[in-house]
Structure formats: structure tokens, C-alpha cells
Homo-oligomer: A and B are copies of this chain.
């Protein structure tokens, strides 16, 4: 049983069924013969569907990349490279995904830009944020739509208006937001929006970079002119077409998907209560699909491993991406939110997906109950 949908989602059955067909339609979309051209048409259909999903009126503003990491790097570095003669000050939250944080840090430590990392509470305090943008004369503001470790939603609408007033480029990492939060890039005043296909039921290998103005950045990958020169390299046809299937699925079922997430969360919490299992939610204002939760009687690592070894249930501590980092490093998100070391050590992330079944959630709770009965006797504080 899989409760780590924030790391990567299972692939939709529709995609698996078509996988071989997509892979056999292998032609290079830049080839001039008919099959090459029809592959190109199919890719452009996905572009139109993505535009619809995020409320972009012109599909040409959608660029396909290899994933959110590349999209984020392209937006962040590309904006600097395009306007490198300006004095840049980038403002972001201290809880961004590393593909935002480390990229901004990299520019900053190389002396190319100044950077400010604001704790989430400051970002949500709009007056304070406004003050910071004005004081730092920020050129670039990057705020994620939904945090990947806690599920916290950020007030993108208000921040977007503020960025527009200050004429500050506004980048939103929507990787954890798509399918969970309704997005309209134009209403939200977003200059660049990024996400990954594999977090929304498609396979790994394709991501999106929306740009309000494609001339606002310098491309990161130069070459054969694909994606109108904005992202060169032979298109990952299979991953893009598969992402198209996922996008159309979301367009059709978005409300149902979100009702399902809410049902999952409600059921999980009610079952924990029913079995008198003590727990604390780290974030109240989170999307329904991601729970950052701690159980006072067991360390998060140990709970994850117990459920994995004994019950074949997969949950996560922190985000998957964090696990490549040194152990102290992956606590930044909760640390930035003010949680203690001991609370952070107890925290696990449980994330639901469209494939999650109520009976799986019941087994998850029974697994936790098992841990509680074995280890719940220590007089925890």
C-alpha cells in the first residue's frame, strides 16, 4: 500500500494501456515526414490541454521540460541570465523545494544576485511581505503553491497582486498544487509556473514551464530549436503524451479527485481517533492530500520502517528529495516553521492519491495501532 503520493504518484491505468503504442510511435517530432509531424501535433494537443488546466490563454506559453526541477532552474537562472545587467534581489520562502532554494542559493553564493529567504509565517503576513519586497527592491519572487512536506497552501492570489504592483517577476512552483488547487495563471498574476507530470499520475520524464512572456528568460538548454528554442533537446514524446492523458483526467475529474482527498483525510483522522491513537497534525491549513503528522510514541523513521517491513505500507519522512541530503539537512521545512528537533524527528508525511482506497487507509491505521500497542507504553513527553 502506497501513501507517498507527494513523492510520486502511480501511473494512470489509461497510460499503462497505451504505453506501448506511444513508445512505438517513436518518431522524432522534429522529423519532416508524416509520422514525425503527427507526433508533433499530438504534443501540441497536450500543450493546449495544459494551457486549459492552468488558465493560460495561449498554449505557446507552455514549454515542456524534463520535470519541475528543470523548470524551476530554467525560470530562476533564465531570468537572471536574461537581465544580468540589473541588480537582482530574489525573495523566496525558506520552505521551498530544493530545486528552488538551492538554485537561488547557487546564484547568490556566486555573487550574481542577492537573496532573502523568508519563513512561511512572514510570507503569509502580507504586510510584512510587502515591506520586504519594497525594501529589498525585489526583482524576483518565488513562492510555492503548496508545500511538499506539510501540504501548507500559500496565498498565491494576494501575493500575485502584490508582486504585480511592485513589478516583480512572480514564479510559482505548483508541483504539489496541480490537481489539488484550482489554478488560473492569468487571474493569479503569475509570470512563471512550474510542475512535474509524475506528481499528477503521469510517468517521470516530463514537466511544464509556463511563461507569461517567453522572452522574459534566457533558455537553459540550447540546441536543435525544439520548443521554439526555449527548451532544446528531442522531446520526450512518451512522457509528454502520457502527461496529456493525466491532464485531461484532471480536467474531467478535478472536483471528484478533491472530494476523494477530503474523504481520505477525514476517514484517516476519524479512524485514528476511534482507536485512541494519539497524534498531532503539524499544519492545519493544508491540502487534504498531504498530512504532516507526528505520533508522540515513535520516531518518524522508525514508524516508516515498521510499516514498510511489517505491513508493506509506504509512507515518508520529509520529502523523497530530502533523503539524498545529509540527515540534519532535511529538517529545514519543519524547522523553518518553528518545530523542535524532537517534534521533527517524530514527523511523518502521509499523502493520498487517486488510487488510495478506504480499506488501505484502514490497514494503515491498523498498522499504526500495532506500533502503538508495541511501543506506545513509553512515557513520552
Point out the residue from B67, B322, B325 that lies within 8 Å of A233, measured CB to CB: B67
- Whether the Cβ atoms of B102 and A223 lie closer than 8 Å is yes
Q: Is A338 an interface residue (CB 8 A)?
A: no
Could you say which residues of chain B place their CB within 8 Å of the CB of A234?
8, 67, 69, 196, 198, 204, 320-321
Binds B, one of A23-31, A149-157, A185-193: A23-31
Taking the nearest CB of chain B, how far is it from the CB of A290, in angstroms? Answer: 15
Q: Give the nearest-CB partner of A238 in chain B.
A: B203
Instruction: Provide the bound-state CA to CA distance between A15 and B26, in Å.
Output: 13
Taking the nearest CB of chain B, how far is it from the CB of A99, in angstroms? Answer: 3
Taking the nearest CB of chain B, how far is it from the CB of A248, in angstroms? Answer: 18
Residues of A1-51 whose CB lies within 8 A of B: 2, 4, 7-11, 15-16, 19-20, 23-24, 26-28, 30-36
Q: Give the nearest-CB partner of A76 in chain B.
A: B222
Taking the nearest CB of chain B, how far is it from the CB of A76, in angstroms? Answer: 9
- Whether the Cβ atoms of B314 and A33 lie closer than 8 Å is yes
* Binary interface encoding of chain A residues 225-242 relative to chain B, with 1 for a CB under 8 A from any of its CBs, else 0: 110110011111111000
Q: Is A119 an interface residue (CB 8 A)?
A: no
Q: Is A276 an interface residue (CB 8 A)?
A: no
Could you say which residues of chain B place their CB within 8 Å of the CB of A203?
23, 26, 238
Q: Give the nearest-CB partner of A65 in chain B.
A: B66
Q: Give the nearest-CB partner of A228 in chain B.
A: B324
Could you say which residues of chain B place their CB within 8 Å of the CB of A222?
69, 73, 98-99, 102-103, 105-106
Residue contacts A-B, CB under 8 angstroms, 12 given: A23-B203, A32-B316, A33-B308, A33-B316, A36-B320, A66-B236, A67-B236, A69-B222, A98-B225, A99-B232, A224-B322, A229-B324
Could you say which residues of chain B place their CB within 8 Å of the CB of A15?
23
Q: Is A97 an interface residue (CB 8 A)?
A: yes
Q: Is A304 an interface residue (CB 8 A)?
A: yes
Could you say which residues of chain B place their CB within 8 Å of the CB of A204?
26, 234-239
Instruction: Provide the bound-state CA to CA distance between A49 and B332, in Å.
Output: 36
Q: Give the nearest-CB partner of A233 in chain B.
A: B69
Interface size of A by CB at 8 A reads: 77
Point out the residue from B102, B229, B301, B316 that lies within 8 Å of A31, measured CB to CB: B316
Instruction: Provide the bound-state CA to CA distance between A311 and B24, in Å.
Output: 19
Taking the nearest CB of chain B, how far is it from the CB of A70, in angstroms? Answer: 6
Taking the nearest CB of chain B, how far is it from the CB of A328, in angstroms? Answer: 14
Q: Is A347 an interface residue (CB 8 A)?
A: no
Point out the residue from B8, B66, B72 that lies within 8 Å of A66, measured CB to CB: B66
- Whether the Cβ atoms of A27 and B8 lie closer than 8 Å is yes
Among A7, A35, A196, A308, the one with the most B-chain Cβ atoms within 10 Å of its Cβ is: A7
Q: Give the nearest-CB partner of A319 in chain B.
A: B224
- Whether the Cβ atoms of A232 and B69 lie closer than 8 Å is yes
List 11 other contacts, CB 8 Å, given A26-B203, A32-B317, A204-B239: A7-B27, A8-B28, A16-B23, A31-B314, A66-B70, A67-B233, A69-B232, A98-B232, A99-B223, A224-B320, A225-B324
